Amino acid sequence: PSQSPCDDLPATLHAHLTDAVATLTLARSQKRNALSEETILGIETFFRSLDPQVRAVVINAEGDHFCAGLDLSEMTSRDTLAGVAHSRMWHRVFEQIEGGGVPVIAALKGAVVGGGLELAAACHIRVAEESTFYAFPEGRRGIFVGGGGSVRVSRLIGLARMTDMMLTGRRYDGTEGEAIGLSQYVVPAGASDKTAHELAQQIVGNAPQTTFAVLQALPRIAESNPRDGFLIEALMAAIAQGTDDAKARMQSFLDGSAGKVTDS
């Protein structure tokens, strides 16, 4: 069954729900899916109103480009303080994507630039078509990243590559992007949405305690000093193992009724 998971979205976003997978589509291809304030707030509305039955989200886009970043036509009207508030608003919304408790997969193609790359970086898995190109045009526009890119993209590719992208306007294509960590997958033209939904289906079958551990504990462990990280890991492992769900899954492997690692 396919239905709308959220009735209150701006015209620049579409959403639908199929079983436990919700899809959010950037639907402003005539402006290359540039992110207006209304669209950013619509993304927040979508994530805040997600039904608890949703176990994975795919963010995809209409047209040839995932997202051309910040809507530059709205920038000129903002003074300094309003600019800070605007950036903090993006942070709040993207934190909802990254920390909302549901795995989010981005299906990328064409331009993934500026704020579009920041949006992609807030997702947990990125599937890029070969047509994808990544860049930070902020340097050329005389501005700086404001949607969390200095933290999230630096973490994905390292400070040196982030510095180079911002100073020189360097672009990476889909294949190069996968090699340096901008996406986890690279797929042929037209295939990102299908692959993203296939991955979502695999995630839906995971135990909730594992999804919780991966989304909530793993990033904290990565930011911790190793001694704290080992402790959080041990606590999280014990909590996951102690669930009836984990015990049932391990028993079904021992009974021979659960798949092996080598099964597809």
Q: What would the two tokens of residue 222 be?
A: 């990565």
Contact 128, 186 (CB under 8 A): yes
Pick between residue 172 and residue 236 the one whose CB is nearest to ligand 1HE.
172
Closest CA to 212 of 181, 189, 237, 234: 237
Pick between residue 13 and residue 21 the one whose CB is nearest to ligand 1HE.
13
38 is catalytic: no
Pick between residue 5 and residue 174 the one whose CB is nearest to ligand 1HE.
174
Residue with tokens 């390292």: 158
- What are residue 179's phi and psi, to 5 degrees? -65, -35
- What are residue 143's phi and psi, to 5 degrees? -125, -170
The residues with which 134 forms a beta bridge, in sequence order, are 112, 172
Quote the least distance from Cβ 253 to ligand 1HE, whole Å.
46
Site of interaction with ligand 1HE (CB under 6 A): 31-32, 34, 65, 68-73, 87, 90, 111, 113-115, 137-138, 141, 145-147
Quote the least distance from Cβ 128 to ligand 1HE, whole Å.
15
Quote the least distance from Cβ 111 to ligand 1HE, whole Å.
4
Pick between residue 68 and residue 217 the one whose CB is nearest to ligand 1HE.
68
Pick between residue 35 and residue 236 the one whose CB is nearest to ligand 1HE.
35
C-alpha angle 7-12-15 in degrees, rounded to nearest 5: 40
How far is residue 48 from each of residues 9, 86, 138, 148, 174, measured CA to CA in Å?
A: 12, 19, 29, 19, 31
Q: Which of 138, 176, 178, 233 is catalytic?
A: 138
| Angstrom distance (rounded) from CA 202 to CA 113 | 29
Q: What would the two tokens of residue 93 be?
A: 């919304």
Residues sharing a CB contact under 8 Å with residue 6, sequence separation 6 or more, in sequence order: 15, 45, 46, 49, 50
Quote the least distance from Cβ 72 to ligand 1HE, whole Å.
4
Pick between residue 46 and residue 90 the one whose CB is nearest to ligand 1HE.
90
Quote the least distance from Cβ 136 to ligand 1HE, whole Å.
7
The sign one gets for the Cα dihedral 193, 95, 225, 163 is positive
Is 128 in a helix, a strand, or coil?
strand
118 is catalytic: yes
Give the catalytic positions in this structure: 118, 138
